[in-house]
Structure 1
Amino acid sequence: MEWTTCAARLAEEVAHPVSRWREALATTPRHLFVPRWWKADEGRWWLQDGPQDPEAWMAAAYSNRTLVTRVGEVHADQAKEEQADGLPTSSSTLPSLVVQMYRHAMMADDSDILVTAGTGYGTALACARLGSEHVTSVDVDPYLVAAAADRLHDIGHHPQTAVCDITGPLPGTFDRIIATVSTRGVPAPWLRALRPGGRLVTTLAGTWLIVTADKQEDGSAIGRVEADRASFMTTRQGADYPPNTGPAFKEVSHLEGEEVSMGRFPVLNVPESYDVWSMLELTVPGIQHYFSHDADRGRKAWMIHPDGSWARAEGVWKEFPTVHQGGPRRLYDDLERIRLRLNMEGALPLTHARVEISPEGVCTISRGAWRAEIE
């Protein structure tokens, strides 16, 4: 099957017929940016080689899904083994989400934008829409930047590219900054790199929150949490994510708690509950979550924090669980306060919350009497 037929079908799935992104999707050969990728199966990553199976390559490349291209320090392009272990560290984001982030940027035809490189596919869409002269693409990984630049050049796009940590100084000034990686807050260098009236679009690490904000005359930015959701890999400064500094899962998974109680709600897989997970991350950042269930509807959930706090909830389906907690903070109590608020009010104060970002990068999210501050 010709790639153009596949791309046209993807464009039809992702973009409205009058969308200005429709043509970019239909004319961008995504498969050239993802010749090899990693597929998760039974707790491991398995290498997929597109040219060895062209039919599967076209099906994967022109599906509306994310394709992981780097695990730990191993890029699929450079992999010598068929298996890998570790966390995903780079990917080709599902096309609909790339376009969604670009739409939030509200870019004009002559907007100068900064985007995150990854495989280069999102950069290619931006070049097709705006022209290469308006696009700058950056990544912390030199290989990713070089590979993306080569593939962009092969299809006639020549944006500015740079190797840099997106949380640090940026290579120029821009009308729009669109990050398809997540950050803990909003880096102060973004505000310095944004031109007056410029807009930033990002997601907050450990949440499903999309934040948009427009630069003000005093150097701050004001915006909101958008109604739709997204989650991206967190920014990294090195070749891989640093090792976890808190207790290992195996060390606390079966401990008897310093405090044992009965939970008020059935066991929840927190990362699957978008608003609860996001609210908890804003309240107690850095919690790792683990979840399991069995054929008899038994459910277990663990929470582990770098400060040594941990919690485990065990229960069956709709029953109230037994909760074990240890360490300096009672993590499960924090979770249950959020769930109680959700039950009492019917929603959490996140969607359309006001976002204020100081010139120093302090991000304050508020709605009504509720507020959270992120350094």
Structure 2
Amino acid sequence: MTDPAALRRHLAGAIHVDDPAWRDALEGVPRELFLGDALFRPTGTQWEPVHRDETDPGEWLRMVYQDTTWVTQIDGVAAADASGPMSGRPTSSSTLPSLIVRMLDLAGIRGGAKVLEIGTGTGYSTAILCHRLGDEQVFSIEYDPGLATAAADHIHAAGHFPNLVTGDGLAGHKDAAEYDAIVATCAVRHIPPAWLFQVRDGGTITTTISGWMLASGLIRLTVQDDGTATGRFAGNQIGYMLARPHERPPRPLYYQHSGQTRPTRVNPALVEDWTGQFLAQLAAPSAELMTSGDGVILVDVATGSQAWTESAADGWQVHQHGPLHLWDQVEDALITWQGAGSPSQSDFGMTVETDGTQRVWMGAPDGPSWNLPV
């Protein structure tokens, strides 16, 4: 199958959303216009550029219409500018189509809504919004000027002319506020206050809460007339790249210290569970998580504190060094979770208070909770 329209119909038909208008938008927006002349695909520990003019046209279209995320930039280098495989961190991508429409569906966006999109990226999700809502109802902001220019070209080539802004998406776009909904195609460590001020009462903010352990949770918050916002996590196992101002800072090389040693109260493998890792990140929000062949390693970016686990004759033991007892924090959260029956992430929610406090809670707003870094 090499007919783009047929490929779009096939892709849209395989995706479940409550509002069928989002499937119609997938059928109507040609994704090939948004991937440019090259993309990266993973090859072992590196990223290999795949150039359109060096690929069979039918194969290129089949790649374009796979329900996958295609990385388009590594550490600021576009795939079209890469002469060979690269190591590094993705800094821009075209998100898998099913995630885009599931997120827009979760946001509860309907015809006539005025929407601010945080993170234009390639422009593909912006065009899907335009197809559903009309160009004049869509505002999209991109942090990277180069990406913003390319996205505008892609969106215009698809026949859409929304309101495009280059700037810091964490500050929103107050000139056109208020919005019925804000949708972020990047992850954040906490909800930026500007978003709350720019959404109407009863409007929604749909985003991914993530952090320096790269755990994440998709949530829709409803903004109340008293300035608070609350909502539950969807439970989808997804991940977006962190907004650049929220990315973890560089840290010194890791040198293992013995520190204080004790037996662990839980199996360290719990932090490799989707919800377990999310809890670990809530409990130690300024720490990075690494895995070794014999346990896990936590390193706090702010203080240099560290914790690392290893197997012992009767189970596991942990070594902790520095001013923060990172494993104590993580372990307490995991034990609380186990005591509640190890519920899935969809049993968690979040509340933003009027004083700026942002809490992720388990079960109910008055249940066990962890504050986000703000």
Q: TM-score, normalised by structure 2?
A: 0.88
Structure-2 change in CA distance of 1:290 and 1:172 (3 Å): same
Q: 2:226 aligns with which of 218, 230, 246?
A: 218
Distance in 1 (CA, whole Å) between partners of 2:54 and 2:3 is 16
Distance in 1 (CA, whole Å) between partners of 2:152 and 2:355 is 32
> Which amino acid counterpart does residue 51 of structure 2 have in structure 1?
D
Once the 2 structures are TM-superposed, how far is the Cα of residue 175 of structure 1 from its aligned partner?
0.9
Once the 2 structures are TM-superposed, how far is the Cα of residue 258 of structure 1 from its aligned partner?
0.9
Q: 2:104 aligns with which of 97, 102, 105?
A: 102
Name the structure 2 match of 1:176.
Answer: 181
> Which amino acid counterpart does residue 283 of structure 1 have in structure 2?
A
> Which amino acid counterpart does residue 29 of structure 2 have in structure 1?
T
Percent sequence identity over aligned pairs: 29
Q: 1:244 aligns with which of 244, 250, 253?
A: 250
**C-alpha contact (below 8 Å) 2:350/2:359 kept by paired residues:** yes
Output aligned runs, 1:317-332, within 5 Å.
Answer: 320-332=315-327
**C-alpha contact (below 8 Å) 1:267/1:320 kept by paired residues:** no
Name the structure 2 match of 1:288.
Answer: 288
Distance in 1 (CA, whole Å) between partners of 2:170 and 2:92 is 16
> Which amino acid counterpart does residue 183 of structure 2 have in structure 1?
I
Distance in 2 (CA, whole Å) between partners of 1:57 and 1:349 is 38
Once the 2 structures are TM-superposed, how far is the Cα of residue 343 of structure 1 from its aligned partner?
3.2
Distance in 1 (CA, whole Å) between partners of 2:19 and 2:187 is 30
Distance in 2 (CA, whole Å) between partners of 1:355 and 1:4 is 40
> Which amino acid counterpart does residue 85 of structure 1 have in structure 2?
S
Name the structure 2 match of 1:164.
Answer: 167
Partner SS, residue 170 of structure 2? coil
Q: 1:312 aligns with which of 280, 287, 308?
A: 308
Distance in 2 (CA, whole Å) between partners of 1:313 and 1:100 is 38
Distance in 2 (CA, whole Å) between partners of 1:355 and 1:341 is 17
**C-alpha contact (below 8 Å) 2:139/2:164 kept by paired residues:** yes
Q: 1:148 aligns with which of 133, 151, 175?
A: 151
Name the structure 2 match of 1:93.
Answer: 95
Partner SS, residue 291 of structure 1? strand
**C-alpha contact (below 8 Å) 1:188/1:360 kept by paired residues:** no
Partner SS, residue 14 of structure 2? helix
My pick for the range that moved more, 90-99 or 306-315, is 306-315
Once the 2 structures are TM-superposed, how far is the Cα of residue 65 of structure 1 from its aligned partner?
1.2
**C-alpha contact (below 8 Å) 2:171/2:192 kept by paired residues:** yes
**C-alpha contact (below 8 Å) 1:263/1:321 kept by paired residues:** yes
Distance in 2 (CA, whole Å) between partners of 1:292 and 1:3 is 44
Name the structure 2 match of 1:11.
Answer: 12
Distance in 1 (CA, whole Å) between partners of 2:328 and 2:84 is 43
**C-alpha contact (below 8 Å) 2:19/2:105 kept by paired residues:** no
My pick for the range that moved more, 24-33 or 352-361, is 352-361
> Which amino acid counterpart does residue 99 of structure 1 have in structure 2?
V
Once the 2 structures are TM-superposed, how far is the Cα of residue 242 of structure 1 from its aligned partner?
6.3
Aligned length: 360
Name the structure 1 match of 2:69.
Answer: 66
Partner SS, residue 13 of structure 2? helix
Name the structure 2 match of 1:112.
Answer: 114
Give unpaired runs (5+ residues) of structure 2. none
Please list the CA deviations of residues 67-126 of structure 1 after superposition, one character each: whole Å capped at 9, or x if unmatched. Answer: 11111121223x243232321111111111111110111112000101121111111111
Structure-2 change in CA distance of 1:364 and 1:289 (3 Å): closer
Q: Report the RMSD for the aligned CA atoms in angstroms.
A: 2.5
Structure-2 change in CA distance of 1:140 and 1:331 (3 Å): same
My pick for the range that moved more, 13-22 or 86-95, is 13-22
Q: TM-score, normalised by structure 1?
A: 0.88
Once the 2 structures are TM-superposed, how far is the Cα of residue 202 of structure 1 from its aligned partner?
0.9
Give unpaired runs (5+ residues) of structure 1. 294-298
Distance in 2 (CA, whole Å) between partners of 1:97 and 1:349 is 19
Once the 2 structures are TM-superposed, how far is the Cα of residue 361 of structure 1 from its aligned partner?
4.3
Name the structure 2 match of 1:296.
Answer: none
Distance in 2 (CA, whole Å) between partners of 1:196 and 1:342 is 33
Distance in 1 (CA, whole Å) between partners of 2:284 and 2:310 is 22
Distance in 2 (CA, whole Å) between partners of 1:31 and 1:133 is 24
Distance in 1 (CA, whole Å) between partners of 2:249 and 2:353 is 31
Structure-2 change in CA distance of 1:16 and 1:205 (3 Å): closer
**C-alpha contact (below 8 Å) 1:140/1:237 kept by paired residues:** no
Distance in 2 (CA, whole Å) between partners of 1:371 and 1:243 is 26
Name the structure 1 match of 2:217.
Answer: 209
Partner SS, residue 84 of structure 1? coil
Structure-2 change in CA distance of 1:263 and 1:97 (3 Å): same
> Which amino acid counterpart does residue 305 of structure 2 have in structure 1?
S
**C-alpha contact (below 8 Å) 1:185/1:362 kept by paired residues:** no
